[in-house]
Amino acid sequence: MTGTTRSCPALLVAAPASGQGKTTVTAALARLHARRGRTVRVFKCGADFLDPHWLELASGAAVHSLDLWITGEADCAARLQAAAGEADLLLVEGAMGLFDGEPSAADLAQRFGLPVLAVIDASAMAGTFGALAHGLEQYRPGLRWAGVLANRVAGERHAQMLRTGLRNPVHWLGALPREAALALPERHLGLVAAAEIQDALQRLDVAADKLAETPLGRMELHELRRWAVPFAAPHPGNPPQPLLQGRTVAIARDVAFSFVYPANLECLEQLGARLTFFSPLAGDDLPPCDAVWLPGGYPELHAAALARQAPLRESLARHVAQSRPLWAECGGMMALFDTLVTADGTAHSMWGLLPGTVTLQQRLAGLGPQQLALPGGTLRGHTFHYSRCETPLQPVQRSFGPGEPQAGAQGEALWRLGSLAASYFHAWFPSSPRATAQLFLPSEASP
């Protein structure tokens, strides 16, 4: 991921708040240029498993996360520089509002000189659109500005009112109409994953067609060069030691267990692990392996089907009884408890490897960046869940937030039962490959 400085047109797609249409616009722009035969690489700012599903479908390539704290500045620099060497266009979808969070999307844009494209839901405004665009542009000195795109616009007259309100008309990049066909479906944790929608690609094509009618969508490659960004070669880091060489890690992967960072899979392979995948929902048995990873996802939406997977439950129990590691995070952990109570109040008997009950609730129970200190190193990551857990198990330790002292912090619990480790904490494996290896090695073999 090293080399000389590479230049490539790039945009950070941001908004004044969540729900403005950032993902739709980013995916539509990626799909539009991919259909024209251009190589597009897309990134997602912050911790997110769901938006990348749509962005990957639109661009045809894996979507990595960029976060100055969770993934780290060096990792961001390396991934951007590598992508710039092969792409005609780089896109980064922001998180929440442009200046929300520590660090924010604006921090990322400023660190790497990314021009900001602001997407603003203009459905209930006219002249205020210009004030909002002006405020976003001018709020932080030194932020590179590309322009603004109005979303959910009522028609041509409305679009003209919005454009007239801009201080600098050159920043007008067009308007997308207020149409149900341009909205991506959502549920309690965010967007519905693209793989769950039969017409997902057709939806993106509709959005790309609409975007093609705007000044932004009509731009040719030479016009996009106005947003070229030089990405310097990062300092080469030390590759992970092959601590998992010769070991096979079995990973649950289907619509119930889909919250997996592509970088986490890369990290396991760099550690020397052989990866094999299985689908609990399809009735797959546990493949031969040395360790198991049950990632997060939506077990609550498939609780009845998962509860019926008795052979897999028995295989997992034998796996743990043989002191082989099992790492379960968030949704993967939820499936391991005795009982899962879904949002409608239905109680499902789950896999019973952990004592206790997990209950879905209407309000968030955990959200934000977290880190987990293990003997092998400190893993960074995040938490985001709507369920609560009641268990007689006592946490062996807890995660803690950026800047918090580890001692006494009330972050997410880490539970251990024999060779089984589980937490609501979602880990970014590259933040500490050595600590990652520890999750998938027997305790006596941990580094």
pLDDT digits (tens, 9 = 90+) for 110-130: 999 999 999 999 998 999 999
What are the structural domain ranges in the chain? 7-231, 248-445
pLDDT digits (tens, 9 = 90+) for 377-387: 999 999 998 99
Q: Report the pLDDT value the prediction gives residue 357, as an integer from 0 to 100.
A: 97
Q: Report the pLDDT value the prediction gives residue 47, as an integer from 0 to 100.
A: 86
CATH superfamily ID and name for 248-445? Class I glutamine amidotransferase (GATase) domain (3.40.50.880)
pLDDT band at 137 (very low <50, low <70, confident <90, very high): very high
Q: Report the pLDDT value the prediction gives residue 195, as an integer from 0 to 100.
A: 61
pLDDT band at 1 (very low <50, low <70, confident <90, very high): very low
Q: What is the pTM assigned to this prediction?
A: 0.92
Q: Report the pLDDT value the prediction gives residue 235, as an integer from 0 to 100.
A: 78
Q: Report the pLDDT value the prediction gives residue 180, as an integer from 0 to 100.
A: 63
- 2 against 294, higher pLDDT: 294
Same CATH topology for 7-231 and 248-445: the answer is yes
pLDDT digits (tens, 9 = 90+) for 189-210: 455 665 666 678 888 999 999 9
pLDDT band at 259 (very low <50, low <70, confident <90, very high): very high
Please list the active-site residues.
330
Report the 10 Å Cβ neighbour count for 1: 16
CATH superfamily ID and name for 7-231? P-loop containing nucleotide triphosphate hydrolases (3.40.50.300)
Contacts made by residues 362-371, CB under 8 angstroms, sequence distance 24+: 362/386, 366/412, 366/424, 368/401, 369/47, 369/67, 369/69, 369/70, 369/401, 369/402, 370/399, 370/400, 370/401, 370/411, 370/412, 370/425, 371/399, 371/400, 371/401, 371/402, 371/431
